[in-house]
Amino acid sequence: MTTQIELQNVTFQYPKNDEPTLKQIHLTLNQGDQLAIVGQNGSGKSTLAKLMNGLLHPTSGSAHIHSLDSQSIPTAEISKYVGYVFQDPDEQIFHATVAKEVLFGLKLRKFPKAQIKLQLNHALIMTGLDRYRDMNPFDLPPATRKFVAIATVLALNPDVIIFDEPTAGQDTFGNQLLSKIIRTQKKMGKTVIVISHDMDFVSNNFNDILVMTHQRILSRDTAKAVFWDEKLINEAHIEQPSICGICKHLGIMSKPITLKEATVAIKSELFS
């Protein structure tokens, strides 16, 4: 299995801060990994993401992307392998229409014209933006604008995609579309990293969970192991998915994570 991203003993400190934002981070991501990062505000999730795509470099320790030291290759080169969707889409959007925004990265990459057209259309259709292609992104609601940012990254077809809080402000339609995009990337063998505070979304879409707190990685484990570990949950300021919370109060033993598992567990443990 190819290793896509490897962080070894990484510490990171922003120039004017008194303390490091990340301490002693070890993390390996292989091709096809689907990782969700959860944890409290200010715990270093977005900073970690920016170390994985070369926007930031370790203060000490090393970050390897595609086996290359992130310090030795230009960030533009890294962006061919790792796509990053910013938490605030307004930080990356600046064109007059949705289509032009998505085209920008494709043109920089100097792909053949036919391929550009194909990848543009594919990205717009996948994100449900086809009908908005001639609109100004800033006339769209913020949650839809997030999909513009997602389309710009999908269009470039990188091996690794990092989504920074894509679920923030999304309604159920938005969340369903996100699930679908992530499933599609999985089928294509891509590596996907999602930062999210929506525990229901995380537990329904991921089984590889990284928990962060106070500048460190607290745990990386399966959804079941993470969301049924009460001590871990309290320490990380996260919460169990609602379904788990109900099952805990009912004394369900089999530690269900999804609605389906909970339904089966409650029926068999309480009503059989």
Partner 1 sequence: MTIAIDCQNISYSYPIAIDNTQALTNISVQLEKGKFYGIVGANGSGKSTFCSIIRGFIPKFYKGTLTGTVKINGIPVSQLQSQLAHLMGFVFQNPYSQLSGVKETVFEEVAFGLENFGMPPLEIENRVNRAMDDCDICDLALRNPFKLSGGQVQRVAFASVLVLDPDILIIDEPTSQLDPMAAEKIYKIICNLKSKNKTILLVDHRTDLIAKYADEVLLFAKGHLLEKGTPHQVLTNPHISAFGVKVPPATQLIRSLKLSLPTNANFPVTEGEAVKLIKEENKNDNTD
Stretch that binds partner 1, among 57-65, 118-126, 136-144, 153-161 (CB under 8 A): 136-144
Nearest CA among 181, 214, 223 for reference residue 45: 214
Buried b (16+ CB within 10 A) or exposed e, 1-29: eeebbbbeebebbeeeeeebbbbebebeb
Binder of partner 1 out of 77, 88, 130, 221 (CB under 8 A): 88
Pairing relationship of beta strands 160-164 and 191-195 according to DSSP bridges:
parallel
- Measured in degrees and rounded to the nearest 5, phi and psi for residue 257 equal -115, -45
Binder of partner 1 out of 9, 42, 76, 188 (CB under 8 A): 42
Enumerate residues 6+ apart whose C-beta is below 8 A from 246.
Answer: 262
- Minimum distance of partner 1 from residue 262's CB (angstroms): 6
Stretch that binds partner 1, among 5-13, 61-69, 151-159, 233-241 (CB under 8 A): 233-241
Residue 271 binds partner 1, judged by CB under 8 A: yes
Stretch that binds partner 1, among 3-11, 87-95, 149-157, 180-188 (CB under 8 A): 87-95
**Whether the Cβ atoms of residue 43 and residue 68 lie closer than 8 Å to each other:** no
Give the residues lining the site for partner 1 (CB under 8 A): 14, 16, 39-42, 46, 87-88, 90, 139, 141-144, 165, 168-175, 197, 199-200, 237-239, 241-243, 245-246, 249-250, 259-260, 262-263, 266-267, 270-271
